[in-house]
């Protein structure tokens, strides 16, 4: 079987402030099929954001490799759209300008009307069409993150990489954006790698949940709930509750082990 993303024997480390080598990722192996939504679940500091930064091409592995469509990643590319936890908007561009900026890089052959149609489409999808002429400093944090999501979606890349994108958004809007990203990814056969520390969010979105402990993959779970997933209906099912308990237990034990190891140092 050909995979969309292949991660092979990945290793990455940092040099700490005390000039000691800190392994952030060790022996990471993971295959992701085209069109699958994969959630990387783990506590802060386990390496999940570092993994995403390597997938995006912003960091380079010290050893091992990442392949997309059987080609090794050499840096950032328009085949991958990224949404970070912090909005990363250009403060000197309007909402429309921020979304249009990415489209100009990815859709160089598009005419002006085609580009503006994409801007309109995706701003409408995230409920910000009426705010298209505002600047980031005129928006709430949640609205700024919606702009970042619209900008990534408008690239219409095969792969969408998301690093805890809804962490700073109020619960109602967060659920709306989760459902939106889920629907658009399935409708357009996007391959999504989504970093989160929220078990509910992972169960609502994922085809596969990759549970990470510090620097390593602890377990990989396939989630076979049908789409679309309605949270109110899903959470009351025995299967959801069983998976939640399993993930919570994994998560809890990983954190306890980490606390114990730190106490022994």
Which pLDDT tens digit goes with each residue over 186-240? 988 999 999 999 999 999 999 999 999 999 999 999 999 999 898 899 999 999 9
* Structural domains of the chain in order of their starting residue, each with its CATH number: 5-79+157-264 (3.40.50.300)
Are the CB atoms for 123 and 99 separated by under 8 Å?
yes
DSSP per-residue string spanning 3-36: -SEEEEEEEEEEE-TTS-EEEEEEEEEEEE-TT-
Which pLDDT tens digit goes with each residue over 6-25? 999 999 998 877 778 889 99
Helix 112-125, helix 141-154: angle, nearest 10 = 130
Nearest to 56, CA basis, from 198, 177, 169, 157: 157
Give rounded-to-5 percent helix, strand, coil for the chain. Answer: 40, 25, 35
Tell me, what's the pLDDT at 260? 46
**Does residue 265 carry a pLDDT above 80?**
no
Tell me 90's DSSP state: -
Q: What are the Cα distances from residue 199, in Å, to 63, 184, 211, 220? A: 30, 21, 10, 14
pTM for the predicted model, two decimal places: 0.90
């Amino acid at each position: 079987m050909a995979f969309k993303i292949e991660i092979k024997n990945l290793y990455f480390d940092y040099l700490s402030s005390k000039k000691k080598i800190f392994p952030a990722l060790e022996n990471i192996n993971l295959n992701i099929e085209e069109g699958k939504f994969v959630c990387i679940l783990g506590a802060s500091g386990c390496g999940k954001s570092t993994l995403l930064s390597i997938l995006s091409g912003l960091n380079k592995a010290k050893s091992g490799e990442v392949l997309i469509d059987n080609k090794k990643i050499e840096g950032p590319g328009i085949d991958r759209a990224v949404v970070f936890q912090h909005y990363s908007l250009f403060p000197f561009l309007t909402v429309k300008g921020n979304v249009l900026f990415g489209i100009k890089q990815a859709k160089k052959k598009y005419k002006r009307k085609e580009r503006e149609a994409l801007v309109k489409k995706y701003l409408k999808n995230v409920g910000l069409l009426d705010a298209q002429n505002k600047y980031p400093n005129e928006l709430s944090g949640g609205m700024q993150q919606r702009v970042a999501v619209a900008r990534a979606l408008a690239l219409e890349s095969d792969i969408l990489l998301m690093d805890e994108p809804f962490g700073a958004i109020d619960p109602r809007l967060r659920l709306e954006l989760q459902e939106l990203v889920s629907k658009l990814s399935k409708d357009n056969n996007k391959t999504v790698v989504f970093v989160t520390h929220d078990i509910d969010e992972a169960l609502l979105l994922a085809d596969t949940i990759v549970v990470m402990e510090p620097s390593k993959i602890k377990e990989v779970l396939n989630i076979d709930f049908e789409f679309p997933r309605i949270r109110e209906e899903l959470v009351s099912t025995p299967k959801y509750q069983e998976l939640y308990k399993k993930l919570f237990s994994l998560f809890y034990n990983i954190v306890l082990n980490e606390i114990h190891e730190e106490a022994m140092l």
